Structures are given as structure tokens and as C-alpha cells.
């Protein structure tokens, strides 16, 4: 008999095809990290409340991966005013993801948030975000590398290259999982945590003070988030691989229970 693989729900993001047709999309790197490193079956679900029933979803999956996305979390979700400079937004994904995060943490469903997913986890538990973390005094530009003409750099090796260090909390969950107190990571984000919520435990900070790794305090199960794109080269990058392997262990434990 074939051994059943854990199932991981991977959230989709709204996208207009040819500017007319609404679609849900997920970057393939996320799916490959789930399949090839975590050893699970990735199952894409719509980041739309009218389509995705959270209760039904959590009866099917063994864990949830919240991916990065182009859209920012809408500022009204953390008590700030909307600014057209920080578009696009994805209101449906905000609504679905924030409710889903609370449900996963309460039920002990393994939850791994990456980039936007990290920000969603932060907001779900009371954090505020800054729309352009690079505008704060002393912060570096965390956005993806661009050419002098403003276009995104065409070489993915440059786009996803490690760009700064992250200092991990000694003895914390991340330090134990990764076996060290300092790592180097890629950086492709605009928003970042401004004020952390009460249940947001900061476990990793960049050289410039930007929060890069969190866990949810008193979560019933695995509930970790990273600001960098951990799905990139997850089969080869030792840091990203260990994170997906830890996620896999949580999925297996959940499935056995």
C-alpha cells in the first residue's frame, strides 16, 4: 500500500490575466518546496472568502503555507490610512488569510508564513506594518534588486541572492532548528513590521533592525514566519531546507494525531 503523503494547503493570490480575467496564482517555487523538501502534496486554494470555506479546508489539509505576493496587506487591517502609493492590495486574501491564521493557531494546524504570509501572521495577532520599511531612518532597501532604469534585475541569481544577515535569538526556536545564531538571507519586500503584537515573538532581526523571523506565542502547534523567501532553492539552501524539513516534521506529527 502506498504511504499517504501529508497535504499542504498553499494560498493563492488574485491576479488579472490580460487585465480582464481574475485568476488565482501561486509561484511554483512554493509548490516545489512543499513537494520536494517537505515531502507533501501541495494543494492550491483560493485566497477568497466566498470560495474557500476555512472549516472544510482544515478538514482536508495537514498544514498551511502562506506565500509571498505582489499585493501589500491593506493598512486598514492595522489601523492606518490607505495610500495609493502602496498599491496593489488584495482585500480578499487579507480577509481569508487573517481568519485562517487564527483558526490554524487555535487548532494546532502547522502554519508557515513567508514574506506576505509573515506579514499576515503579524497583523493577525496585532502587529502594525510600515508600507516602505526602507524609508525608516537607518534601514536598508529590502526590495528586490533593480537595474539603473528601474526594471527588475533579469538575473534571478542576483534577485534571490543572500543580501544581509539575520541575528537569531540564542536558544530560540529558529536558533535550535537552524543550529546557529546568525544566518544570511535574500530580501524582496517593501512592507515590514513596525510595532509587533503581543503574541508576536521576534526571533530574528536583520542588521538594520528589521524583523525577519517570528513565532506565535502559545500556539497549539508549529506557527513560524519568515520575512525572506524561504521557498527559493529550498532543496539546496541549507537554511531554507531546514525550515521546510521542520515544517514537514510538524505535518507528519499532525497527521499521526
List the Cα angle 231/211/121 in 5-degree steps: 65
Residue 87 is among the residues annotated as catalytic for this protein: no
Q: Give Cβ neighbours of residue 125 (< 8 Å, ≥ 6 apart).
A: 101, 105, 197, 198, 199, 200, 216
Place of cell 538594520: 208
The cell numbers describing 184, all together, are 544570511
Question: Exactly one of 115, 120, 142, 212 is catalytic; which is it?
Answer: 115
Q: Give Cβ neighbours of residue 54 (< 8 Å, ≥ 6 apart).
A: 96, 99, 100, 103
Find how far residue 249's CA is from the centre of its chain. 18
**229: nearest Cα among 117, 101, 147, 75:** 117
The cell numbers describing 207, all together, are 542588521
Number of helices and strands in the chain (H, E): 7, 13
Residue 82 is among the residues annotated as catalytic for this protein: no
Question: Exactly one of 120, 203, 212, 231 is catalytic; which is it?
Answer: 231
CA dist 77 and 95 (Å) reads 9
Residue 231 is among the residues annotated as catalytic for this protein: yes
CA dist 165 and 182 (Å) reads 7
Question: Exactly one of 74, 86, 229, 232 is catalytic; which is it?
Answer: 229
- List active site positions: 115, 229, 231
Amino acid at each position: 500500500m502506498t504511504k499517504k503523503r501529508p497535504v499542504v494547503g498553499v494560498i493563492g493570490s488574485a491576479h488579472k490575466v490580460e487585465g480582464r480575467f481574475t485568476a488565482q496564482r501561486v509561484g511554483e517555487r512554493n509548490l516545489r518546496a512543499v513537494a520536494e523538501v517537505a515531502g507533501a502534496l501541495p494543494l492550491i486554494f483560493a485566497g477568497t472568502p466566498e470560495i474557500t470555506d476555512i472549516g472544510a479546508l482544515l478538514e482536508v489539509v495537514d498544514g498551511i503555507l502562506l506565500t509571498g505576493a505582489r499585493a501589500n496587506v491593506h493598512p486598514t487591517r492595522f489601523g492606518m490610512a490607505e495610500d495609493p502609493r502602496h498599491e496593489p492590495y488584495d482585500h480578499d486574501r487579507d480577509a481569508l488569510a487573517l481568519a485562517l491564521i487564527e483558526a490554524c493557531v487555535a487548532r494546532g494546524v502547522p502554519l508557515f508564513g513567508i514574506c506576505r504570509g509573515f506579514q499576515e501572521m503579524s497583523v493577525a495577532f496585532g502587529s502594525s506594518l510600515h508600507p516602505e520599511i526602507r524609508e525608516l531612518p537607518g534601514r536598508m532597501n529590502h526590495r528586490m534588486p533593480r537595474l539603473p532604469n528601474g526594471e527588475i534585475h533579469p538575473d534571478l541569481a542576483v534577485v534571490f541572492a543572500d543580501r544581509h544577515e539575520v541575528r537569531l535569538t540564542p536558544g530560540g526556536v529558529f536558533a535550535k532548528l537552524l543550529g546557529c545564531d546568525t544566518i544570511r538571507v535574500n530580501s524582496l519586500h517593501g512592507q515590514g513590521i513596525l510595532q509587533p503584537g503581543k503574541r508576536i515573538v521576534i526571533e530574528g532581526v536583520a542588521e538594520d533592525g528589521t524583523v525577519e523571523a517570528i513565532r506565535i506565542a502559545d500556539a497549539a502547534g508549529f506557527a513560524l514566519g519568515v520575512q525572506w523567501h524561504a521557498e527559493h532553492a529550498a532543496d539546496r539552501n541549507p537554511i531554507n531546507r531546514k525550515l521546510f524539513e521542520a515544517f514537514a516534521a510538524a505535518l507528519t506529527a499532525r497527521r499521526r494525531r
